[in-house]
Amino acid sequence: MEAIILVGGLGTRLRPLTKTIPKPLLPLVNIPMVERMIRNLPEKIDTVILAVSYGLEQMLEYFKKTNVGRKVIIVPEKEPLGTGGAMKNCEKYITGTTAVFNGDVVTSINLDEMIEYHKSKKAKGTLALWEVENPNRFGVVKLVKGEILKFQEKPPKGEELSNLINAGTYILEPEIISIIPENEKISIERDIYPKIVGNGLYGIPFEGYFIDAGTPESYLEANFKLLDINIESENNELKNKVHIHETSKVVDSIIGPNVIIGPDVFIEKSVISNTVILSDSKIYGSTINNSIIGPNISLNHDVENTIIAPEGEKIF
């Protein structure tokens, strides 16, 4: 079985970090986002197809040297094709039922259960759905006995069909991808799914967590959520929820809560909380909170709510 991961975005909301690192290669608890997604796939998915535009050379280089336990096919987009166009671009590598993911989504969806549900309904397509308190900023679905009968984009308050939104994970039959026009910029969500409502399109709500890790705030949130899960699974009594790479060193500092420190980092006489520090950074005498630092940054002043990257800084 194949999976398509849509990793063609520019990552503009995470600039300047993504000017030098493609968003799929940004670490989540010290493992690149896309690699973590691949490693968490069910065993039945043996081939992963990456739809790549921005950062193509870095992605090719990374997967050339990294064994993720599955066959990885990288399909370049010469220009952005949208979610539907990117899927169409991968069509020739698909042999049957296919899982599709937005590449910056971190969720607790049980994919094995989702695939079984899809098959039990003899569905053409199945969408993971997430319940939100305020659906007015999103597109919502009308779900009746598991079948999606209508999409509603950013409904006015009080007129919502539901509070269930598309969570960026799909199980699709080849016939869905076959109806996508070739060589066009197509949104699967706006241009294709509405055409097949009531005709084999199903939804599966899930609980747990759903994070679109595409903004500074949500990138930090995704790291901290995975930090929680790692600590629970390892039965580790790290009270401050801290993950420090084995090649890094911390001297005379207070670290935590919610801190992830990447490889080859040196920190001295600093107080750091709610922060991700990327590789090869040097920090001295700093108080840092709610920030993303690195890679290759030398820092000796206080920082809050800021991305500091080689290509510049941004307060968020």
Q: Is residue 239 among the annotated active site residues?
A: no
* Structure-block tokens of residue 13: 């909301």
CA distance linking residue 49 with residue 286, whole number of Å: 42
- Of 154, 195, 249, 269, the active-site residue reads 154
Tokens 């169409």, residue? 88
Q: What tokens were used for 105?
A: 């989504």
Query: Considering Cα of 251, then 312, then 106, then 134, what sign does the dihedral take?
Result: positive
Cβ(307)–Cβ(17) below 8 Å: yes
How many Cα atoms sit within 13 Å of 58 on the Cβ side? 16
Structure tokens at 74: 């990288």
**What whole-number distance in Å separates Cα of residue 171 and Cα of residue 174?**
10
Supply 203's token pair.
């939804």
Where in 81-190 does DSSP place strands (E)?
98-102, 105-107, 125-131, 139-144, 147-153, 164-172
Query: 161-199 burial, b for 16+ CB within 10 Å, e for fewer?
Result: ebbbbbbbbbbbbeebbeebeeeeebebbebbbeeeeee
Beta bridge partners of 205: 129
Contact (Cβ atoms closer than 8 angstroms) between residue 30 and residue 263: yes
Q: Active-site residues: which are they?
A: 154
